[in-house]
Amino acid sequence: MEQGNPLQTLLQELEKHHIEVLIYRPMLQQFPIPAALLPNITPFQIPQDLDENVDFMISLGGDGTMLDSITLVQHRNIPILGINFGRLGFLASISREELTHAVEALITGSYVVDKRSLIHVDSNLPIFEGAPFCLNEFAIHKRDTSPMIKIHTYLNTYWADGLVVSTPTGSTGYNMSCNGPILFPESSSFVITPVAPHNLTVRSIVVADSSVISFEVEGRTDQFICAMDARREILDHKIQLAVKKEKFYASLVRLNENSFLSTLRTKLTWGLDRRN
């Protein structure tokens, strides 16, 4: 793949196959598109602009861009293909050098669509309006330099800087950074992991994703941070929160030669020990 404008390169590949293209309007403002490619392009701005005629969404960026793409697709079951222009790339696992190969795979049908479970948050006040769901994790965290907080769940009371509820997909993200276990994507589970717990005997716990997990937060300050993937809000401690499995799934495209284990080996450099 040539260096330069990745969007232009992708559009040229799609034009070869006479594919109609919708482009997120902010991208058109960020990347200049040659006039010759514009007749085949329709901009879109909001999730409601997408309908059943959309066969795929292609994400150019890192894992954060993939997470943004999921908030645009929402319940529409549009498969998302991630081309990695970021760093680690657990979700957007296809390298930029494979862009042409990835487009060919979409045309020929030589790909696999993985269904990934999502977390949904309910509250007595409107939060994360329009997209109260996430692919990786729901997190509660103390604000800045404030003292630790006390988080009550039906399982335990955690004295900690925060608490992470992760899906199997998100188990390789914030959860893993907090020494939580890695789950296979097919696991019908959530993993609950404390962030810097005050009690060293407190560890992660894996629960069935049929569970509804409610929270009450106490602390010396009246506010705390609530995050869903890369989105966050500052909430009052009196708010009532609960998380559960979302009714719909995220559909992620992978090439046939890729697998969860091969991605783990590559991204976490497993097997590179000289003794192996």
Q: What residue segments make up the domains of the chain, in order of their start?
A: 6-116+249-267, 119-245
**Pairing verdict, β 137-141 and 205-208:** unpaired
Strand partners, 164: 139, 193
Alpha-carbon distance 80 to 83, whole Å?
10
- The pLDDT score that the predictor gives to residue 274 is 59
CA distances from 66 to 56, 86, 91, 183 (A): 13, 11, 7, 20
Helix (H, G, I), strand (E, B) or coil at 179: coil
- Reduced to 3 states, what is the DSSP secondary structure of residue 71? helix
The answer to whether 114 and 103 have CB atoms below 8 angstroms apart is no
- The residue type found at 29 is Q
> Comparing 6-116+249-267 with 119-245, is the CATH topology the same?
no
Helical H runs in the chain? 6-16, 25-30, 63-73, 99-108, 174-177, 260-267
Cβ atoms of 197 and 159 within 8 Å: the answer is yes
**Cβ-based neighbours of 108, under 8 Å, separated by 6 or more:** none
Q: How far is the C-alpha of 217 from the C-alpha of 223, rounded, in Å?
A: 9
Position 2 scores a pLDDT of 42
Q: In the CATH scheme, what is the code of domain 6-116+249-267?
A: 3.40.50.10330
* Distance from C-alpha of 71 to C-alpha of 172, rounded to nearest angstrom: 20
Residue 209: active-site member: no
164: which residues sit within 8 A by CB, 6+ positions away? 137, 138, 139, 174, 175, 178, 180, 192, 193, 194, 195
Q: Is domain 119-245 in CATH 3.20.20.70, yes or no?
A: no
What was the pLDDT predicted at 1?
38
Task: Evaluate whether 246 touches 119 at the Cβ level (below 8 Å).
Answer: yes
Which pLDDT value is given to residue 112?
92
- 51, 55, 63, 114: which is the annotated catalytic residue? 63
**Residue 134 in tokens:** 């996430």
Predicted TM-score (pTM) of this structure: 0.89
**In the prediction, which pLDDT does 276 show?**
55
In order along the chain (276 residues), what is the average pLDDT of each group of 10 residues?
68 90 88 84 93 93 92 95 83 86 92 96 92 97 89 92 97 94 94 94 94 94 94 94 97 82 75 61
Q: Rounded to whole angstroms, how far apart are CA atoms 40 and 4?
A: 21
| Euclidean distance between CA atoms 250 and 258, whole angstroms | 18
Strands 119-123 and 111-116, by their bridges, are unpaired
Coil, strand or helix at 234: strand
β strands within 167-249, DSSP E = 189-195, 205-208, 213-218, 223-228, 231-236, 241-245
> Edge-to-edge strand order for the sheet containing 241-245?
133-134, 119-123, 241-245, 213-218, 149-152, 157-160
